[in-house]
Structure 1
Amino acid sequence: MSCTLVIPTRNDTTNLKRLLEQAFHMKCFARAIVVDDASDSPLSPELCLLERPDWVHLTRHENRKGAGAARNLGLQFVETSHLLFFDSDDLLTPEIPHLLADLDGREFDFCIFKHNDSRVSAAGSWGQTRWDEALWRHAGVAVGALRPVSPSSAPTLARTANYPWNKIYRTDFLRDNGLRCSETLVHNDILLHWASFIRARDILSSDRIAAIHHVGLKSGRLTDHSGPERLAVFNILRDVLNTEIPGDRNFFAAFLGFASYLFGWIRGVIAPSQQPALDAQIRQFLLAALSPGDYRNLTVSDPVLALRINLQLAETRRAGAGTS
């Protein structure tokens, strides 16, 4: 198999050069495609990788569009059978060449692999967050350099953090299904993550920790945004629901659980001035997504989630009454 590295970046030359040098010397990627999302100082191939500028294909957005749009643009230039989206401030580990070797000759739509989270490292350990690791265990794939993910386990694994860079994709799987990132500044990875799990027929998993994800606290990160741009998430969630979810509804319940937790997270970061609009959107989304029959089924299959959603509906109803 042949794999391309697709890297969105903005004003991150130092980390980008570090990643490109690392990936180049691993000799397991046919090429790197770098999408400059309107950096203040435009990048050049020579600046990206002095040793082999021809190994890097560089393209650019003249206006800032976000990492999702950058990944979509990068996908257009991929000529290999497989690809890996990656962030410029993260790092690969020596496991990635071994994982690509394991995958050579295998048929799959995508392979999800484990990563190290910098917050876990800061606590003196190594690996994923407890939440993600628990979901891998519950899905029955916590151990194994390469193993298939069953249809019954896929919805559980889909509830892990919605990252684009922990999956090696078959290029034609993305193209044939029209799978893309949302072109928003925030929450742009949700649609690709969930639609990939929903549409895929052959998913593999690997317990190889093949990436190091840096979670920074510096101001200005997109994850710190607290304005009305956060409300774009509701259109993205609707796009996921409009994906052809399998009839067994396992994905539907898993996705509702993810959305419910996400609403709580957004409540913690959004500006107070945006709270009424957020409450209205939460209520509208839940009422539209859940029919009475869906809710009755949920009370049986996942009573804890049903209770949480009921409490969120009550909370948003009280909030709406308080602003009327």
Structure 2
Amino acid sequence: MRAEPMPCDDSARLLDEVARALEDRAPLRIRGGNSKAALGRAVMGREIDTRSHRGVVSYDPTELVITARAGTPLAELNAVLDEAGQMLPCEPPTFDDAATLGGAVAAGLSGPRRPWAGSVRDFVLGCRMITGEAKHLRFGGEVMKNVAGYDMSRLLAGSFGCLGLITEVSLKVLPKARAQRSVTLELDAGEALRELSVWRKAALPVSGACYLDGRLHVRLEGGVGSVAAAVDRIGGEDLDMRFWHALREQRLAFFLEDQRPLWRLSLPNATPLIGLPGAVLIDWGGAQRWLKSDAPSAAIRQIAAAAGGHATRFSPLPGHAGNDDGNGPFAPLAAPLLRFHQQLKQQLDPRGIFNPGRMYAEL
């Protein structure tokens, strides 16, 4: 059996590499486990690897807070929490155990529990980061000029490394539910979305809802009595709990067998069934819809925008390096929002060395 690397504070090396990049005016491509390398535009630059900077820094289960270095594998963090009967409620994917904590926060991806528990951003309490001026700051112990008033720890969630190099994260954690059950029901998609709306108003302890291949899959978590009562009301057949792990990790046949590009549509909770050009998996009770489609980017984004949401392309297009066909993998930003992002980038990374262009060419 291969021995796991020991916990290590390797921040001095990371700082040195950033300082040298500044001297050389060389861009840096931040990498952890590389599990989300296909998400975003290609970044040309020196690789700066965070995986050696790893390990849990502090964890007291009674405080419901864990602090760990950015290179710590999510699987390792989950194992530590599991021993104490606790969890990361937002369920960030581990992607074959390759994902690191820093990458999970930088990408901001959440699992099936997200609509009921919250996103990765909601559980970030604090962080340390190396700025584009090679300063190692802790938020919010140190105040950075011209960005006071921003919750920097949460701004880093979903920034894809464009604002700085995350070195350490403190997260709120929660106890695992006392009872869990999963059921599956045969329904048409419209009826499934209507039932979910009714259950939401009835405050049933739903913590996962996915519609696929003519069946609604529901996860229930909470007290023993409330879960049993919900199962009695919903009915259906028992479902193996491993389904939710496969959904979170994109290991269902839907993700693996269809070779068309993968899109994620983020929509308002109450969005009814809408026509999409391809195979569809409905997650998050309807708020997240995965699409396998060869349709043009503009057409998919127009459908998402008409429903009040946006679309992100999650997999590379054949013949286009770095998941970019000229339209970009992420939904275009309105001019005022783009200016805000550019101003924030200028404050934190004035020479533009961190993951330049990973999200947008203008960043």
Q: Larger relative contact order (C-alpha < 8 A, sep ≥ 6)?
A: 2
Q: TM-score range by the shorter chain?
A: under 0.3
> Normalised by the size of structure 1, how large is the TM-score?
0.27
Structure with more strand by fraction:
2
> Normalised by the size of structure 2, how large is the TM-score?
0.25
